[in-house]
Amino acid sequence: MLENSYKIITDELKPLFDEQGFKSESVDDGEIYKSGKKAVKIRFDDNKKMYRMYVADVTDGNVGEFVELSTWLFEDESNENDARSIGADFKDTLEEVLGIKKAAFNAHRSQIDLPSKAAPGATPGIGAFTQRFLTICPQFKDDYKDNVAQYGDFLYYDFYCRIAAPHLRELLKRNDKKQLTKFCKMISEMYIDGDSEVDRVIVCCILGEAVYDDEELLSRLEEYLEGEDYLKHILKITVSLIKKDKSKSAKAKGAVKVK
């Protein structure tokens, strides 16, 4: 597991903690963040490979019973971007509990540049892949800018799971041959040409997320990936893993109690 993941997560929350007057305090089982009204703690569950955020009421300086507010899987292969996504989600969840309206974007969308192509001879990374994606799906340019404006950086796992996967799913449901052919051609080319992070986003965040719960859509997608036997093989493995992760998350959320 990423050793500094806890710090990455709490760093995402720090601006909110500072704004709302939360101070760090040491307790028997680690660290809590406490204000005059609420206390927050984040703990890692080694057995279930999961980060958990808890909140408690504070009355006259006394911390009440903590209840679980949000959970996120964080397995051995999870990385810094996963940790940042967890921190961003925990921040959004806590803002809702505290009754805080989302602040205006930290950057105006008009000031955010779209990603560019890879330099000649360079292996395409996430930036170059995103440039290709936005070229064939220009309707999502504002969503890209919103992502950067909200988080201060491009949280591409969030973007591709939330934007690209549902888009692909809808194309598959309609069996839009023209758009699917163009989309899958780009995916196949970038899977071959791109770096390992591009490959991971393609398989996990876009393809797998779009079809993991629908065998018919998976079969249809495989038709458009004709000739990409290795990609289809990896996709099937990924779909199986996503199903397991979704099942774990559903069970965890079923046990959550929120005041």
Two tokens, residue 207: 């393809």
> CB neighbours of 92 closer than 8 A, spacing ≥ 6?
102
Residue 153 structural domain: 109-246
Transcribe 79-120 into DSSP letters.
-HHHHHHHHHHHHHHHHHHHTPPPPPPSS-GGGPPPP-PPPT
Question: What backbone phi and psi angles, to 5 degrees, belong to 242?
Answer: -65, -40
Which of 36, 70, 103 is the last residue before a domain boundary? 103
CA distance linking residue 40 with residue 63, whole number of Å: 10
Two tokens, residue 176: 């839009």
CA distance linking residue 36 with residue 22, whole number of Å: 8
Q: Tell whether 159 and 95 lie within a shared domain.
A: no
Domain count, the chain: 2
From first to last of the 259 residues of the chain, give the pLDDT tens digit: 567 899 999 999 999 999 999 999 999 989 999 999 999 999 999 998 899 999 999 999 999 999 998 999 888 888 888 899 899 989 988 988 887 755 444 445 678 889 999 999 999 999 999 999 999 999 999 899 989 887 878 999 999 999 999 999 999 999 999 999 999 999 999 999 999 999 999 999 999 999 999 999 999 999 999 899 999 999 999 999 988 877 655 544 444 433 3
Q: Tell whether 43 and 167 lie within a shared domain.
A: no
CA distance linking residue 191 with residue 124, whole number of Å: 10
CA 20 to chain CA centroid, nearest Å: 25
Which of 46, 72, 103 is the last residue before a domain boundary? 103
Question: Whole-structure pTM over 0.95, yes or no?
Answer: no
Q: Tell whether 171 and 203 lie within a shared domain.
A: yes
Which of 47, 70, 103 is the last residue before a domain boundary? 103
For residue 193, count CB atoms less than 10 angstroms from its CB and return exposed for 0-12, middle for 13-18, buried for 19 or more: middle
Q: Tell whether 114 and 95 lie within a shared domain.
A: no
Q: Tell whether 84 and 42 lie within a shared domain.
A: yes
Q: Are 90 and 118 in contact (CB under 8 A)?
A: no
CA distance linking residue 65 with residue 6, whole number of Å: 22
Q: Tell whether 233 and 126 lie within a shared domain.
A: yes
